[in-house]
Chain A
Amino acid sequence: MGMTLAEKLLAAKLGRPVEAGELVEVPVDLVMGNDITAPVAIHAFEAAGATRVFDPDRVALVASHFVPARDASSANQTSIMRRFALAHNLRHYYPEGTGGIEHTLLPERGIVVSGDIVVGADSHTCTYGALGAFATGVGSTDLAYAMATGRTWFKVPETMSFMYHGQRQPWVTGKDFILHTIHLIGDDGALYRSMEFSGDAVGQLPMEDRLTMSNMTIEAGGKVGLVLPDAITEAYERDRALRTPHFLTPDPDAAYVARIDVDVSRLEPQVAFPSLPSKTRPLSDVGDVPLDQVFIGSCTNGRLTDLRIAARLLQGRRVAPNLRLIVIPATQDVYLQALQEGLIEVFVQAGAMVSAATCGPCLGGHTGVLGAGERCLSTSNRNYVGRMGDPGAEVYLASPAVAAASAVTGRITHPAEILGEEVA
């Protein structure tokens, strides 16, 4: 029997075939932690008596969540990470001002590459699956173990195949593909499983959209969300990869526990209603939803292409009265490029607030926390109760295009509407 991409990736690392359900201990190519999860891992690492990381070039620590420090307590957490990173001479330590959100930063700088095995103490580590890397989120204790030993253990996951066919409509993005998919299978529809994304419609998606799809694998409970590497992957990694990428593909006779076909040709932009990512509706079924805040950013949709789409819609327009628009480029590199392209000016002219790279409002951290009864449309990944602030606030999830259009009108809006185009 052939192997799925998840099995292939683990097999390549172990040098022998593997099969779903088997428990394996594998060497990792990279481990990652952030300012929330690393301090807990560092405490565990030191309490266990570990004195060295397995490889200072393969431990990435990124200040991303509460940066710049939100308060004295969060400043203390980033200090713990800084002390450890400097003491262990970590090559990939990104303090405030040098990096940004880890899941945008690591692929962007070629720190993670195709074929890698990665564990990160953040659930959206699955983002790197878009490159064809076996990357998954773990907790701080697993991070501590992997930092010390360079190994981790996995149950080889079963795989669900998702084939996307057809020509997508204007304004339909990878975000809409994945929101629709989570709606189809539910919030635990891929629990413990690998999601393998393929088909001609995924083949046509730019890398940024693929990263968005893999990013939200966890919102369906998935362990990894893998896109088959192709020419787009190769082009993306060509001038970035710090190590040699390894392109692996599933065997033609691989065993899948489910095969789901999605025709994207009639797919509309999607909106997830409170308070689960699976509560997704096509935009034409949304109705009148007035908004208090729009947030464009996060590891899901804070990349340059996301900001370009938003700026295209906001160019020469103003944010609706009594609505806050918050735009946060996901990394310093994205910020600088957006500045050079004039996107930041478009946002500020439109009445948006633009902040330095941080996860910030996505997790109700800072720079855009919601109050009781407030309603926000966000380009991030989770709309759970209290996720962005008060438990009485409502969060809707959508693409940057829908977010920007909605910021202009003050209610959830199709991008074509504000451009005067016919809504497809």
Chain B
Amino acid sequence: MIKVSNLHKYFGNNHVLKGIDLEVEKGTVVCIIGPSGSGKSTLLRCINLLETPSEGHVLIDGTDITDPKQNINALRTEVGMVFQRFNLFPHMTVLDNITLAPIKVRGMAEKDAQDLAKALLKRVGLADKADAYPKQLSGGQQQRVAIARALAMKPKYFLFDEPTSALDPELVGEVLDVMKSMALEGTTMVVVTHEMGFAREVADRVVFMDDGVILEDKPPEILFTRPENPRTKSFLDRVL
């Protein structure tokens, strides 16, 4: 379980997260929605310490990752992350992008890692792209490779930071399909997204954030049809 308690984050004098409490049970999908600048991505990045929380705690399976004595690298292997801008390694082939961390971090044999990578590429529908370089792929294909790269570490939790926001509209579907299949398999996912259709269909809970606080945290059928907070209402009116 991921447990965030009383999380604050300042960038200089800018108070970006103002006391966030959030729990993500194993096997659930939590979508975080909200206007730009509401702190959604910062919250996500605090969960694997790409940002250091200014205050508060983040517990992953009971281990407090904000404790400076923790081995952050080991903890990060349990929390996979998919970025808005893919962040594939441009100097490596698709296959090498996927096998790098299993080999270097998990100590997996090269052959095993390659077999795993090929199986994952098949799963995301890119079996024929193993030897391609990222630049030769479309945005949607790159993002699917990035998902395969995260999957290869077999993390317990997945963080998605606006995974479809940098994609052309016609490429969004292929990435969401992969994410849906992961959700169906019971993968624990925290997804920051602007795809309300995806949130409504796949999420177990939808969290609405605005101005650094969580205003509502409800199952999608309730949040989307009967939002309580006026700010949730006006946000949903604008995006739906």
The judgment on whether A and B are partners is: no
